[in-house]
Chains A and B, each alone.
Chain A
């Protein structure tokens, strides 16, 4: 909690500094154009955001890295000449070479291919769980913030209580209750205790946005509440939602990898990066590359997602424009 507060304070300070600077720019921009009624000719909100994102070198590199990883995961299994499940003990434990870029495992299966397939599983679970987290978090937070009053109070107290739940142990318990581990139970397990922050941030966003005069103006012209919520509030949280997707994704994928690593993952012969790493763990002294490669993949994904989120936050933070 304290860490979150601190991060938020730093976040706040940075965006307020940016806002101060934006203000000077807005003024000079406002001083442009020659006749009243002419547009100032500034780029659109999204274009502005794009330029701010491009200006952040780390994020650009991270986006490139992310796309490369995605391409690897998607295309390698399509074009690979190996069979991912065929056992060939003659080829077992061959180290990385031009034949097998990432080497082979104990059954002689090509790891370059298996890592890509594992990535598919990791990505799929990651995206599905992130989507679920977003859906639950946004709905919960938006309703709480929008309706306000007693309902908000109740929902937030409930959330406070849930906040104490440790994420991974809770996921393990969930999996234990289900009894089987497959794609969907994994998604549920990863979602169940990780949508709280999204809900809370969403509620904060909605409450802040609710104070905008354009919301009052909408009520003043007689707009129904549904319209106010969707047309005036939710659309303006789009930036935050996109940022949160990239913040949640690495967390979820890491969670999945961890669960797989401790043996609660998708069952073999299918594998995620976590499972691959777990397989490598057994042999890590003799054949270190088997554990190193999937671990590096996970690190690659997490780092690029975090840097993308960071850049997006700078680029899209709606607080810069609207308050």
Chain B
């Protein structure tokens, strides 16, 4: 059974110019024990999706419709109080910038034990003991001593480790990581990703990894969701997605990445995607990628909005021209 079931989630932001459809009908499941990667460029709605799940969307944003079932429990209708409880215990979240999530005037020991005492009802001595254990678990050297340090005494990577320690302190079942390594150096990033993987297995956690980095999802995710302009455009197991990308956007995105190794390094120009994503104030009633898609125009792409459909087992795509169908149709002959 899926631990998290999101269906038809819509989150809009009211602005002076109108309503921005930041998340526009997103549905997906996260299976127990798996890692779901959500990948997309800035403004695609990936972060707002995770905030909507946690009930953390702030004014002028609003979850307009949709349901979020966590372990069979509907989250969208919970009161703030109930949500707070879910957030602390069952679902934990880590963000891009650990500095803004840590209170600069409290020692990290105080911050960790506070969480522990609130959610786990531990005595202060027990909480302290547990805090040391947690810091050791995230491989912070000399944990007992560092408990009395303030956040600014930690490097970026170390701060993120502290955040992770706090996130796992109440044994959550789901960990949502929103660009957890974006602000970090590559070598530090690798360490944090390895740590997350280790903890996930140890604690039997389900994970959602939100990132713009194709490499990061490839590294950690079992299943991948590609978002574009507030919608899911492709969903597939990681191997299948990277091996045989179906959506023209995913395909172009992968092709636009410079490669570290392999034959096509420095081989002339990179594939770039012309143009920009559509205006989410008034998203077109058509394929949202069509204006930038090199296969559009063979069809009524600019008129009909494609549905998310399964092109092969477990591989969903929202396009009239997925790769596997394109080879079957001679270019220029038009779609059947």
Interface residues of A (CB under 8 A from B): 21, 24-25, 27-28, 30-36, 51
- The verdict on A31 contacting B280 (CB below 8 Å), with A36-B274, A36-B275 known, is yes
Contact A31 B229 (CB under 8 A): yes
What are the residues of chain B within 8 A of A27 when measuring CB–CB?
A: 42-43
- Let me know if B22 is at the binding interface, CB within 8 A: yes
Closest 9 CB pairs of A and B: A31-B43, A32-B279, A27-B43, A31-B277, A28-B20, A27-B42, A35-B275, A28-B280, A36-B275
Whole-angstrom CA separation of A52 from B122 in the bound complex: 47
Contact A32:B275 (CB < 8 A) given known A24-B13, A51-B16: no
A34 with B291: CB separation less than 8 A: yes
- Residue of chain B at shortest CB distance from A55: B16
When C-beta atoms are compared, the residue in chain A nearest to B15 turns out to be: A25
- The CA-CA distance from A131 to B115 in the complex, in Å, is 52
B281 at the interface (CB under 8 A from A): yes
A27 to B281 CA separation, bound complex (whole angstroms)? 12
Residues of A within 8 A of B274 (CB): 35-36
Contacts A21-B58, A34-B275, A35-B291 known; 5 new A-B pairs at CB < 8 A: A24-B13, A31-B276, A31-B277, A31-B278, A36-B274
Q: Measured between C-beta atoms, what is the minimum distance from A226 to chain B in Å?
A: 38
What's the dominant secondary structure at chain B's contact region?
loop
Contact with A along B263-299 (1 / 0, CB 8 A): 0000000000011111111000000000100000000
Q: Would you list 27 pairs from A and B whose C-beta atoms are within 8 A, ordered by A residue?
A: A21-B58, A24-B13, A25-B15, A25-B20, A27-B42, A27-B43, A28-B280, A28-B281, A30-B42, A31-B43, A31-B229, A31-B277, A31-B279, A31-B280, A32-B276, A32-B278, A32-B279, A32-B280, A32-B281, A33-B276, A33-B279, A34-B275, A34-B278, A34-B279, A35-B274, A35-B275, A51-B16
B48 nearest CB neighbor, chain A only: A24
Which residues of chain A come closer than 8 Å to B291, judged between CB atoms? 34-35
CA distance A91 to B329 in the complex (A): 102
Residues in A whose Cβ lies below 8 Å from that of B58: 21
Determine the chain A residues whose CB is within 8 A of the CB of B275 once the complex forms: 34-36
Query: B229 — which chain A residues lie within 8 A by C-beta?
Result: 31
- Given that A24-B13, A27-B43 are contacting pairs, would A34 and B22 also be in contact in the complex, using a CB cutoff of 8 Å? no
Considering the complex, give the chain A residue whose CB is closest to the CB of B59: A21
Interface size class on chain B is 10 to 19
Complexed CA–CA distance, A32 and B48 (Å)? 18
Chain A residues whose CB sits within 8 angstroms of the CB of B16 once the complex forms: 51
Chain A residues near B48 (CB-CB < 8 A): 24
Bound together, the chains give a CA A27 to CA B81 distance in angstroms of: 31
| Least CB distance, B179 to chain A, in whole angstroms | 13
| A34 contacts across to B, CB distance below 8 A | 275-276, 278-279, 291
Distance to closest chain B CB from A45 (angstroms): 15
Write out the residue numbers on chain B whose beta carbons fall within 8 Å of the beta carbon of A28: 13, 15, 20, 22, 43, 280-281
Q: Which residue of A lies closest to B58 (CB)?
A: A21
A32 cross-chain contacts in B, Cβ below 8 A = 276, 278-281
Residues from chain B with a CB closer than 8 A to the CB of A24 are 13, 22, 48
| Closest residue on chain A to residue B282 by CB atoms | A32
Chain B: CB-nearest residue to A42: B17
Smallest beta-carbon distance B229→chain A, Å = 7
Can you name the residue of chain A whose Cβ is closest to the Cβ of B42? A27
A21 to B48, CA, bound (A): 12
- Whole-angstrom distance between the alpha carbons of A28 and B16 in the complex? 13
B276 cross-chain contacts in A, Cβ below 8 A: 30-36
CA distance A32 to B20 in the complex (A): 11
Cα distance A25–B58 when bound, in Å?
Answer: 13
Q: Which one of B16, B20, B276, B281 has the highest number of Cβ atoms from chain A below 10 Å of its Cβ? A: B276
Contacts of A31 in B (CB 8 A): 43, 229, 276-280
Please indicate the chain B residues that have their CB under 8 angstroms from the CB of A30 in the complex. Answer: 42-43, 276
Which B residues touch A35, using CB under 8 A? 274-276, 291
Taken residue by residue from 1 to 39, chain B's Cβ proximity to chain A (1 for < 8 Å, 0 otherwise) reads as 000000000000101100010100000000000000000
B20 cross-chain contacts in A, Cβ below 8 A? 25, 28
A30 smallest CB distance to B (angstroms): 6
Bound Cα distance A201, B48 (Å): 37
Instruction: State the Cβ distance, A185 to closest chain B Cβ, in Å.
Output: 47
> CA A31 – CA B289 in complex, angstroms?
12
State which residues 42-92 of B face A: CB under 8 Å.
42-43, 48, 58
Closest chain B residue to A23, Cβ basis? B42
CB neighbours (8 Å) of A33 from chain B are 276, 279
Once bound together, how far apart are the Cα atoms of A31 and B275, in whole Å?
Answer: 10
Nearest chain B CB to A52 CB, angstrom units: 10
Q: Which residue of A lies closest to B272 (CB)?
A: A36
Chain A residues whose CB sits within 8 angstroms of the CB of B277 once the complex forms:
31
**Residue of A21, A27, A35, A36 most packed against chain B (CB within 10 A):** A27
Which of chain A's residues have a CB closer than 8 A to the CB of B279?
31-34
Q: Which residues of A contact B22 (CB under 8 A)?
A: 24, 28
